[in-house]
């Protein structure tokens, strides 16, 4: 595996809860609660979990659309310089903007309806100073062709395109500054299945061509398996498991991961196999339970789980950066994969 370009350590993002006539802070929603992971050069790291688990908030903190409450986000640029994105000012981050881009979830609201496609795609390069006014036409033509759009459509406005075409425009916009890291926030979740496959294939081709690293945020485990090299599983703002994709799907080491894999739809239904379902409700992130956050819904939970801290433990002590899980009983459990 190539060198590490992003290291997230102890990342937290709390949103204050305000009540009363004086709008006083009475608590906080712990959307991201002490998250650790790494992204390596040229890899795709999948980030999965239920809705509301903090996936998108994590991505927004990395690109600094949100300011983290605590933690560090160390990014290593192409020139070897390192910056802590969590603590840097917007002025300090500006030179690194061209290396870190985002593809948003909603292709309809993420494009300015008052701008032509040419201006939408060229705007990041213009703001970062990586293209001159006279070269914008050539840049947009090349990028639109590369993502599978006809260049003559650059004079049109976003409303004239379908959802899949708009997402391709969003990808072309991110590519305009030749990024090193791209955060894809549910970038295929709103698309038809056939269009999803096309966009995923496009992302894989672009990764090989431009040596881009992806943080691929999604709840669709099928899409994540198709594109990811490693997967991070989140639950109520916490990371519960990190592993290479094939090993995670074959041998999960956390009961929550097993439940997620058990919920993946199968093309051929087998009535003899009863699909596993999670009982209970997702905990309130403003008042998470003591110990392991998953223990109220876990069929393997013991009294010890009610007191355990949710720290990532290496499955193999000789490989501390390999398969890691937050389940203290991972050595005794034999969980089902796909």
Quote the CA–CA distance of 27 and 19 in Å, as a whole number.
9
> What is the token pair recorded at 146?
């590369």
- Quickly list DSSP for 5-23: EEEEEEEEEEEEEEETTTT
**Which residue do the tokens 């599978």 mark?**
148
Q: Are 203 and 215 in contact (CB under 8 A)?
A: no
Q: What pLDDT does 268 receive?
A: 54
pTM for the model stands at 0.91
> What is the token pair recorded at 141?
């033509």
Segment among 83-92, 237-246, 274-283 with least mean pLDDT: 274-283
Q: What pLDDT does 275 receive?
A: 55
Mean confidence (pLDDT) of the chain: 91
The answer to whether residue 282 scores a pLDDT higher than 90 is no
Q: 67-82 burial, b for 16+ CB within 10 Å, e for fewer?
A: ebbebebbbbbeeeee
Tell me the sheet residues that pair with 45: 215, 230
- 270 pLDDT band (50/70/90 cuts)? low
The answer to whether residue 47 scores a pLDDT higher than 50 is yes
Helix (H) or strand (E) holding 338: none
Q: 129-158 burial, b for 16+ CB within 10 Å, e for fewer?
A: eebeeeebeebbbebbebbebebeebeeeb
* 3-class DSSP state of 151: helix
- 273 pLDDT band (50/70/90 cuts)? low
Q: What pLDDT does 221 receive?
A: 84
Quote the CA–CA distance of 210 and 98 in Å, as a whole number.
14
Quote the CA–CA distance of 243 and 222 in Å, as a whole number.
16
Average pLDDT of span 191-195: 85
Contacting residues for 1 by C-beta, under 8 A, at least 6 apart: 40, 43
More reliable by pLDDT, 59 or 106: 59
- 192 pLDDT band (50/70/90 cuts)? confident
pLDDT digits (tens, 9 = 90+) for 161-187: 999 999 999 999 999 999 999 999 988
Q: What pLDDT does 66 receive?
A: 95
Q: How far is CA 77 from the centre of its chain?
A: 20
Where would I find the beta strands (DSSP E) of the chain?
4-19, 24-40, 44-48, 70-76, 82-84, 100-103, 181-185, 213-217, 230-235, 238-244, 313-314, 324-325
Q: Are 288 and 235 in contact (CB under 8 A)?
A: no
Average pLDDT of span 30-48: 95
CA-to-CA separations, 204 to 133, 141, 211, 302, in angstroms, rounded: 30, 21, 10, 42
> What is the token pair recorded at 302?
């013991």
pLDDT digits (tens, 9 = 90+) for 104-155: 988 889 999 999 999 999 999 999 888 888 899 999 999 999 999 999 999 9
Tell me the sheet residues that pair with 230: 45, 244
Q: What pLDDT does 272 receive?
A: 47
More reliable by pLDDT, 129 or 71: 71
The residue count for the chain: 338
Instruction: Using a pLDDT cut of 90, give the percent of the chain over it.
Output: 74
pLDDT digits (tens, 9 = 90+) for 313-330: 999 988 988 999 999 999
Average pLDDT of span 240-257: 94
- 266 pLDDT band (50/70/90 cuts)? low
């Amino acid at each position: 595996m190539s060198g590490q370009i992003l290291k997230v350590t102890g990342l937290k993002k709390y949103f204050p809860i305000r009540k009363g006539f004086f709008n006083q802070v009475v608590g906080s929603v712990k959307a991201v609660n002490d998250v650790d992971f790494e992204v390596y050069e040229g890899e795709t790291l999948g980030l999965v979990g239920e809705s509301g688990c903090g996936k998108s908030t994590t991505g927004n903190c990395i690109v600094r659309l949100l300011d983290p409450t605590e933690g560090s986000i160390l990014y290593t640029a192409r020139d070897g310089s390192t910056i802590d994105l969590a603590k840097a000012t917007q002025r300090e981050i500006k030179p690194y903007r061209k290396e870190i881009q985002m593809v948003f979830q909603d292709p309809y609201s993420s494009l300015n309806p008052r701008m032509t496609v040419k201006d939408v795609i060229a705007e990041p390069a213009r703001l970062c100073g990586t293209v001159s006014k006279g070269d914008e036409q050539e840049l947009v033509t090349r990028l639109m062709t590369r993502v599978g759009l006809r260049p003559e459509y650059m004079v049109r406005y976003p409303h004239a395109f379908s959802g899949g075409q708009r997402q391709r425009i969003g990808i072309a916009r991110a590519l305009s500054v030749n990024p090193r890291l791209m955060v894809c926030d549910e970038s295929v979740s709103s698309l038809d299945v056939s269009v999803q496959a096309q966009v995923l294939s496009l992302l894989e081709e672009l990764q090989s061509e431009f040596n881009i690293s992806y943080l691929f945020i999604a709840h669709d485990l099928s899409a994540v398996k198709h594109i990811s090299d490693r997967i991070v599983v989140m639950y109520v703002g916490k990371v519960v498991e990190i592993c290479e994709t094939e090993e995670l799907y074959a041998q999960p080491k956390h009961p929550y991961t097993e439940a997620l894999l058990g919920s993946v739809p199968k093309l051929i239904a087998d009535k003899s196999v009863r699909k596993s379902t999670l009982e209970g409700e997702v905990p309130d992130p403003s008042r998470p339970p003591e110990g392991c956050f998953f223990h109220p819904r876990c069929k393997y939970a013991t009294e010890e789980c009610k007191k355990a801290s949710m720290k990532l433990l290496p499955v193999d002590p000789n490989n501390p950066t390999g398969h890691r899980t937050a389940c203290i009983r991972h050595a005794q459990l034999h969980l089902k994969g796909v």
